[in-house]
Amino acid sequence: MASGFFALLDDIAALMDDVAVMSKVAAKKTAGILGDDLAVNAEKASGFISDRELPVLWAITKGSFLNKLIILPFAFLLSAFIPIAVTIILVLGGLYLAYEGAEKIYEFLAGHKHESNELLDEDITIEELQKLEKGRIKSAIFTDFILSVEIVIIALGTVTDQPISTQIMVVTVIAIIATVGVYGIVALIVRMDEFGLKLINLNEQDNSFSDKVGRLLVNALPWVIKFLAVVGTLALLSVAGGVFAHNIDFLHHLIEDVPLPAMLKEFLLGLVIGLLTLPIIGLFKKLFGKKKDKH
């Protein structure tokens, strides 16, 4: 009896060790998407009235948890019974990421303004504010769903040769990290300016050390958001390119002999495919918009 109990403990310890090792591998594979998830949601949750930032972020976080609860069971079932579907979903998600990254670059080059400043309009009504909040929350949760699918599928792809128990534990760990870690960091980022103001008001001295640190945090927030947006866009395209290169043989062989670093090749592949999708999706949006207007 005792020997059987200790054997069970040994098996559990071995399983947890495998999970820890595979979780590290999966985390490295999904780091690019986690970076983009961080950038996207830091941008979505900023620009609100101070006391609305955390409620908006909490609403997005709850949506992200719900996304994971929906995605994980389907991912495990598909991996077990229809493995090819995992690859198809991965490529479709890659197309969306490539499109989103290319769209951001196009909007920047074309000088299009984003919606973030709309919430700072002094003349905005409560109804308009609530509508804008709901729209941004909905947009963030939808983007999170696509990114969550990619995170789960990529993490799953690193452990497909492992027992189903290991697959479930590793991918679940990554899903939890992707939600708690990302949104915890986003919460810290969007409250940088509030913390900075508290440091400025910490004492009545002029130009004290706390004042300098506080002003640094307040002034740094917009630049941090912009930096994350740039990094996030690059990550979108790199992750998308990696998805195409590793799952479509034709594209893998096409870029294999290109004398460039692998990361740069994947970024350029994601950018090219993203730019190709822009006019196609733009046409669908116009057609859908016209049909919607008629109704």
Q: What phi and psi values does residue 219 have, to the nearest 5 degrees?
A: -75, -25
Q: What is the pLDDT of residue 116?
A: 47
Q: What is the pLDDT of residue 4?
A: 45
Q: What is the pLDDT of residues 148-188, one digit of tens each?
A: 887 888 788 777 777 777 788 888 888 888 888 888 888 88
Q: What is the pLDDT of residue 271?
A: 94
Q: Is pLDDT above 60 for 120?
A: no
Percentage with pLDDT > 90 across the chain = 5
Q: What is the pLDDT of residues 20-65, one digit of tens each?
A: 555 555 556 555 566 666 666 666 666 556 667 778 888 888 988 9
Q: What is the pLDDT of residues 214-234, one digit of tens each?
A: 888 888 877 887 787 787 788
Q: What phi and psi values does residue 46 have, to the nearest 5 degrees?
A: -95, 165
Q: What is the pLDDT of residue 276?
A: 93
Q: Could you tell me if 267 and 36 are in contact, meaning their C-beta atoms sit under 8 angstroms apart?
A: no
> Rounded to an integer, what distance in angstroms lies between the CA atom of residue 29 and that of residue 156?
10
Q: Choose the most confident range, by mean pLDDT, from 44-48, 92-96, 119-123, 125-129.
A: 92-96
Closest CA to 52 of 163, 108, 126: 126
> Rounded to an integer, what distance in angstroms lies between the CA atom of residue 138 and that of residue 252?
35
- Please state the pTM of the whole predicted model: 0.69
Q: Is pLDDT above 70 for 127?
A: yes
Closest CA to 43 of 35, 259, 272: 35
If you average pLDDT over every residue of the chain, what do you get?
A: 76
> Rounded to an integer, what distance in angstroms lies between the CA atom of residue 218 and that of residue 215?
5
